[in-house]
Amino acid sequence: MAVILDLAVQGAQMLVVLLLAPLLTGLVRKVKARLLRRRGPPLIQPYRDLARLLRKEVVLAENASWLFRVIPYLVFAGTWVAAALVPTSSPASARKKRAVARNAMLAIMSAVHEKISPVAKVGTSAAATQVAANTM
């Protein structure tokens, strides 16, 4: 019974990752716009973009190789597998997940900050080192 419960939790986690990934993209775009003192797109804009993309007709060149058709599915499958490999059940893994999430948020914030200000590279790398040292 525990195995079935673990598989159900894993499946739910994979579904949540799939559904919330565009929201994270929207959040990053919104934060970048706010840092530049702009209004920015709505948070749900990536969902609208995906819906529009799925309604479009597929256009392939006649001389396109089979890789051209297969690679998007492989990228999606790789992301799906990466979400499946994140542990979900024990309290120890919950602590590790919080540390990973904290470090991921720091990396995202650093990347956004570095895109805006090239001078910020020194400060963000120092902050990343300090946070990484505190989580170990």
Domain of 56 in residue numbering reads as 1-88
11-64 confidence digits (pLDDT tens): 887 788 788 889 999 999 999 999 999 999 999 999 999 999 989 998 888 898
Range in 21-25, 64-68, 89-93 with the lowest mean pLDDT: 89-93
- Do both 95 and 62 map to the same domain? no
- Do both 21 and 71 map to the same domain? yes
- Do both 78 and 94 map to the same domain? no
DSSP one-letter string for 59-109: ---TT--HHHHHHHHHHHHHHHHHHHTS--SSHHHHHHHHHHHHHHHHHHH
**Where does residue 92 rank: exposed (0-12), middle (13-18), buried (19+ CB within 10 A)?**
exposed
- Total domain count, the chain: 2
- Do both 77 and 102 map to the same domain? no
- Do both 84 and 96 map to the same domain? no
- Do both 6 and 73 map to the same domain? yes
What's the whole-number average pLDDT of the chain?
78
Residue 9's pLDDT is 78
- Do both 13 and 73 map to the same domain? yes
- Do both 99 and 46 map to the same domain? no
